[in-house]
């Protein structure tokens, strides 16, 4: 039930990403040094401790907007479904129940801990489930290996961002509430840079650009300056305290919320990965198949919205004042709801982490409908 499709992405891709953000050639040299890695290792004993013997405080992640996801996905008996971010299997279980007795589910995740829990949780569904450790950016390859590429699938779900399991495990370094190493990688065994690598090596301007671009943090420059002044920074609490001395943040939010979001998005290349995933998901669908995306912030939701609209037009207009000639366009999808669906007040009261969730969904059109 648990497969492995885990091609290592060359670290040069990360370097290229930050080169693009920062427009600063020194990063090429800086990120290739092991200095900040040494800092994290010194702080935590040794590299690897972050995953072995980790205290998994939260176990199953509570899935958000399950009824809405099922409403859009419409799982059917004998259908084939992909959960591109299976996490600890909450949505997967709902899809399997709704497609009983013989619907099949292929679940992907980068996080080996989440997959282990999903495997345990979904064991009773037997061979209706296949779990693969992979990034959803390799969806086409995973489908090929599964033998599902040619026939296509009936539905794809992606529930973006991080799980409670990750947020509530201090050693993963996602939370400013608990102290832990500044890691933030969805794949803690991957060889990409950690958040500590970024805060301890990026030039000040590059850090400020990162915080502005991925956190929409208005105090980005002041925070970047403070970070550089306090280097080396080893832990989540150290970073949170440095940020809190510079900004009060939005009312009701911890001052470091945007800084942590920005670093997490950068470490995991979340926006770039989403852009790579969406066309593969559309190609994977059979006509009538549905793609459902749960986003948690406007940066990723904007990508989903614009992509869905371009597919629905069947044509990408150039930015004004260039003329848009979409006369011969062939729409590829039907947007199932013009605006995103939000969680109910009851759900947010029950599960406060659902409060920023929003769902968008499309249905793939048959070529003759287009």
For ligand SAM, give the closer residue by CB, 68 or 137.
Answer: 137
Exposure on the CB side of residue 330, measured as CA atoms within 13 A: 7
Longest dimension (CA), the chain: 62
Alpha-carbon distance 316 to 320, whole Å?
A: 12
Closer residue to ligand SAM, CB minimum distance, 87 or 173? 87
Inter-residue contact 268 to 173 (CB < 8 Å): no
Least distance to ligand SAM from the beta carbon of 107, Å? Answer: 9
Residue 153 or 246 with smaller CB distance to ligand SAM? 153
- Closer to ligand SAM by Cβ: residue 95 or 224: 95
The tokens 């926006």 sit on which residue? 271
Supply the minimum distance, in Å, between the C-beta of residue 53 and ligand SAM: 20
The strand pair at 104-109 and 153-159 is best described as unpaired
Q: Which residue is nearest to ligand SAM (CB)?
A: 87
Q: Say if CB 290 and CB 360 are below 8 A apart.
A: no
Binds ligand SAM (CB under 6 A): choice among 36, 68, 99, 135: 135
Nearer to ligand SAM among residue 156 and residue 233 (C-beta) = 156
| Contact flag: residue 136 with ligand SAM (CB under 6 A) | yes
307 binds ligand SAM, rule: CB under 6 A: no
Give the per-residue contact string, 254-273, with ligand SAM (x = CB under 6 A; - = no).
--------------x----x
Asked if residue 57 lies in contact with residue 168, where contact means CB atoms within 8 angstroms, the answer is: yes
186 binds ligand SAM (CB under 6 A): yes
Range in contact with ligand SAM (rule: CB under 6 A) among 37-45, 132-140, 250-258, 285-293: 132-140
Site string for ligand SAM, 36-65 (x = CB under 6 A): -------------------------x-x--
As measured in angstroms, the least distance from the Cβ of 332 to ligand SAM is 23
* Shortest distance in whole angstroms from residue 201 CB to ligand SAM: 23
323-334: b (≥16 Cβ within 10 Å) or e = eeeeeebebbbb
CB 198 within 8 A of CB 267: yes
Burial of 225 (0-12, 13-18, 19+ CB in 10 A): middle
* Least separation in angstroms between CB 52 and ligand SAM: 18
Query: H-type helices in 100-235, by residue range?
Result: 112-121, 139-146, 164-167, 195-201, 204-215, 220-230
Where helices occur in the chain by DSSP H, the ranges are: 11-22, 26-30, 35-44, 66-73, 90-98, 112-121, 139-146, 164-167, 195-201, 204-215, 220-230, 236-246, 257-268, 270-284, 298-313, 345-350
Q: Which of 41-49, 159-167, 201-209, 282-290 is the region at the interface with ligand SAM (rule: CB under 6 A)?
A: 159-167
Closest separation in Å from C-beta 99 to ligand SAM = 16
Find the part of the chain contacting ligand SAM (CB under 6 A) among 39-47, 130-138, 226-234, 319-327: 130-138
Q: How far is the CB of 109 from ligand SAM (least distance, A)?
A: 4
Helix (H, G, I), strand (E, B) or coil at 141: helix
User: For residues 179 and 160, what is the distance between their CA atoms, to the nearest angstrom?
Assistant: 24
Q: Do the bridges between strand 333-335 and strand 80-83 make them parallel or antiparallel, or are there none, so unpaired?
A: unpaired
Pick the closer one to ligand SAM by CB: 68 or 88. 88
Binding test (CB under 6 A) with ligand SAM, winner from 39, 96, 132, 162: 162
* Nearest approach, Cβ of residue 86 and ligand SAM (Å): 6
The DSSP letter of residue 171 is G
What is the CB neighbour count within 10 angstroms for residue 339? 9
Q: Is residue 171 within the footprint of ligand SAM (CB under 6 A)?
A: no
Number of residues that bind ligand SAM (CB under 6 A): 23
User: x/- contact string, 78-117, with ligand SAM (CB under 6 A)?
Assistant: -------x-xxxxx----------------xxxx--x---
d(CA 220, CA 304): 26
Q: Which residues bind ligand SAM (CB under 6 A)?
A: 61, 63, 85, 87-91, 108-111, 114, 135-137, 159, 161-163, 186, 268, 273
């Amino acid at each position: 039930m648990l497969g492995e499709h885990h091609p290592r992405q060359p670290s040069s891709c990360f370097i290229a990403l930050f080169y693009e953000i920062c427009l600063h050639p020194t990063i090429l040299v800086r990120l290739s040094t092991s200095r900040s890695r040494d800092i994290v290792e010194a702080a935590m004993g040794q590299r690897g401790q972050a995953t072995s013997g980790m205290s998994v405080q939260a176990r199953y992640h509570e899935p958000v907007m399950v009824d809405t996801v099922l409403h859009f996905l419409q799982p059917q008996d004998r259908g084939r479904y992909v959960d591109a971010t299976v996490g600890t299997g909450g949505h997967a279980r709902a899809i399997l129940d709704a497609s009983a007795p013989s619907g099949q589910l292929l679940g992907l995740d980068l996080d080996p801990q989440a997959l282990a829990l999903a495997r345990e949780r979904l064991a009773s569904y037997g061979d209706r489930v296949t779990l693969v450790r992979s990034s959803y950016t390799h969806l086409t390859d995973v489908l090929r290996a599964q033998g599902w590429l040619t026939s296509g699938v009936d539905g794809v779900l992606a529930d973006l961002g991080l799980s409670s399991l990750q947020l509530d495990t201090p050693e993963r370094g996602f939370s400013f509430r608990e102290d832990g190493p500044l890691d933030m990688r969805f794949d803690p065994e991957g060889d990409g840079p950690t958040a500590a690598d970024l805060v301890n090596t990026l030039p000040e301007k590059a850090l400020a650009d990162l915080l502005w671009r991925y956190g929409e943090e208005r105090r980005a420059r002041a925070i970047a300056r403070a970070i550089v002044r306090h280097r080396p920074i080893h832990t989540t609490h150290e970073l949170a305290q440095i940020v809190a001395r510079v900004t009060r943040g939005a009312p009701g939010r911890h001052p470091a919320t945007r800084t942590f979001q920005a670093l997490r998005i950068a470490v995991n290349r979340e926006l770039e990965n989403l852009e790579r995933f969406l066309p593969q998901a559309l190609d994977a669908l059979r006509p009538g198949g549905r793609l459902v995306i749960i986003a948690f912030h406007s940066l990723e939701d904007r990508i989903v919205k614009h992509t869905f609209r371009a597919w629905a037009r069947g044509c990408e207009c150039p930015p004004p004042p260039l003329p848009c000639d979409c006369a011969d366009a062939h729409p590829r999808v039907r947007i199932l709801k013009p605006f995103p669906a939000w969680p109910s007040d009851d759900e947010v009261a029950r599960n406060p982490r659902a409060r920023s969730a929003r769902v968008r969904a499309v249905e793939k059109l048959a070529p003759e409908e287009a």
